[in-house]
Amino acid sequence: MTIEFNREAYNKVFDDLDEFRNFCAYSYLQGHSGYVFNEKDLYNSESYVWRAFQNRHKGPPKRKPFRKEFRGKKFN
């Protein structure tokens, strides 16, 4: 009986780990407050660092459109 390894799954985990490490190392240069790299945080949705890593491409929240009824009254 042989054990079959899923090479694609292993490669995905190690690629994600490398990306996560690079994010933690260079996040201060991108304007974040800096994060401590810990391998336990990979795929841990309760971790603040992992959530910041997941949200890095989201960008700022979208602005709500300006409603006309809130415009100030014209003078004169």
Per-residue model confidence as pLDDT tens digits over 20-69:
999 999 988 878 788 999 999 999 999 999 999 998 877 766 676 666 66
pLDDT of 29: 85
Q: What is the mean pLDDT of residues 2-13?
A: 88
What pLDDT band is residue 12 in, cutting at 50, 70 and 90?
Answer: very high
43 to each of 3, 19, 27, 56, 65, how far by Cα in Å?
25, 12, 18, 15, 35
Query: 53: which 2 tokens?
Result: 């890593």
Q: How far apart are CA 39 and CA 57, in angstroms?
A: 21
Query: 29: which 2 tokens?
Result: 């240069």
pTM, full prediction: 0.68
pLDDT of 70: 61
Q: How far apart are CA 73 and CA 54, in angstroms?
A: 44
